[in-house]
Amino acid sequence: MTSFWSTALTQVRPNEIRVRGYDVAELMGSRSFGDVVYLLMSGELPSGREGAMVEAILVAGADHSVAAPSTAAARLVASGGAPLQAAAAAGIIALDAHHGGAMEALACMLQEALGTAAPPGERPGPAPKLPDDEIRRRAAAIVDEALAARRRLPGFGHPVHKRDPRTERLRVLAQEWGLYVPHFRLVDAIGGEMAARGKPAAVNVDGAIAGILSDLRLDWRISRGFYVIARAAGLVAHVYEQSVREKPFKAPSWSEIEYLGPGPRPVPCTDEPGR
């Protein structure tokens, strides 16, 4: 008999829940959320500080105040009266290439550049050990290609931070925990090559996450999911705050809306109404 569904993630039987084979009750209280997110995404529990690194990513992405497209979207939807989960989902929908989703394209580039990319569903290979000048050469090729195509490099630049504090801290942690290996080094080298070409766009949190997750041998196709998980926390808090602290119906004042269409004009007469 063929199954309606098959899954390698979690097995549930009466009075028993096993995530990737591990009893969830045993994981509770002994493993961090970062460990379990890593387990779900990679298939294995961390053997070193991978779970702590994931946890740091989740903290880094948890919130960035109201002036982010996802948060604004969630709060606007909440102000219309939508339920908490619907408003939070509106914020999640807003995460994409320009905000909170740039790590996907960058992680893909990094994994291709280092030859670690794997087919969907398989883990990327371990990164090759490369000397600094080889990392720099590959970074230069990526930057030259992007500049020639007039493309912005995902994972670089930020409307507020010239030095993203989340990136700085993630880099320090990765270095301390022996997880600053070729993909994150390549991200930093790309930043260096951009600066050298007069385009100083610092590595933002998406860029750092792309490097770290690639170094953790996670498929670039799932990288954006880590930001979804992280930012869900902030979005829920914002939606709640919106509903308890602000008046309903959030909208810009009319003075801030500029109309650019034609001026008033008569509707032309027609012999055939509705045509």
Ligand X SMILES: CC(C)(COP(=O)(O)OP(=O)(O)OC[C@H]1O[C@@H](n2cnc3c(N)ncnc32)[C@H](O)[C@@H]1OP(=O)(O)O)[C@@H](O)C(=O)NCCC(=O)NCCS
Stretch that binds ligand X, among 5-13, 147-155, 169-177, 233-241 (CB under 6 A): 147-155
End-to-end, the C-alpha distance of the chain in Å comes to: 57
Nearer to ligand X, 36 or 74 (CB): 74
Site for ligand X in 77-116 (CB under 6 A): 98-99, 102
Residue matched to tokens 């630049």: 157
Residue 199 within binding range of ligand X, rule CB under 6 A = yes
Which residues of 50-181 form beta strands (DSSP E)? none
Q: Please give the C-alpha separations between residue 168 and each of 104, 163, 172, 203, 216, in angstroms, as whole numbers.
A: 20, 8, 6, 9, 18
Residues facing residue 17 across a β-bridge: 12
Q: Please give the C-alpha separations between residue 38 and each of 112, 130, 217, 225, in angstroms, as whole numbers.
A: 22, 26, 11, 12
Q: What torsion do the CA atoms of 196, 198, 202, 207 make, to the nearest 10 degrees?
A: -70
CB of 223 to ligand X, least distance (A): 13
Q: Which of 70, 204, 214, 223 binds ligand X (CB under 6 A)?
A: 204
Residue matched to tokens 């109404």: 273
Helix or strand run (H / E) with residue 10: strand 10-13
Residue 52 within binding range of ligand X, rule CB under 6 A = no
Q: Which of 75, 136, 138, 158 binds ligand X (CB under 6 A)?
A: 158
CB of 37 to ligand X, least distance (A): 20
Q: Which of 156, 180, 184, 220 binds ligand X (CB under 6 A)?
A: 156
Residue type, 142: I
Q: Which of 159, 263, 268, 274 binds ligand X (CB under 6 A)?
A: 159
Stretch that binds ligand X, among 118-126, 184-192, 203-211, 215-223 (CB under 6 A): 203-211
Residue type, 148: A
CB of 94 to ligand X, least distance (A): 12
Residue type, 139: A
Q: Are 187 and 207 in contact (CB under 8 A)?
A: yes
Residue 250 within binding range of ligand X, rule CB under 6 A = no
Nearer to ligand X, 156 or 220 (CB): 156
Residues facing residue 18 across a β-bridge: 11, 23
Number of residues located near ligand X, criterion CB under 6 A: 16
118 exposed, middle or buried (CB, 10 Å; 0-12, 13-18, 19+)?
middle
Nearer to ligand X, 107 or 135 (CB): 107
CB of 6 to ligand X, least distance (A): 36
Residue matched to tokens 């604004």: 72
- 91: tokens are 């914020």
Nearer to ligand X, 150 or 245 (CB): 150
Stretch that binds ligand X, among 40-48, 87-95, 201-209, 261-269 (CB under 6 A): 201-209
Nearer to ligand X, 79 or 167 (CB): 167
Nearer to ligand X, 36 or 205 (CB): 205
Binding site for ligand X (CB under 6 A): 98-99, 102, 152-159, 199, 201, 204-206
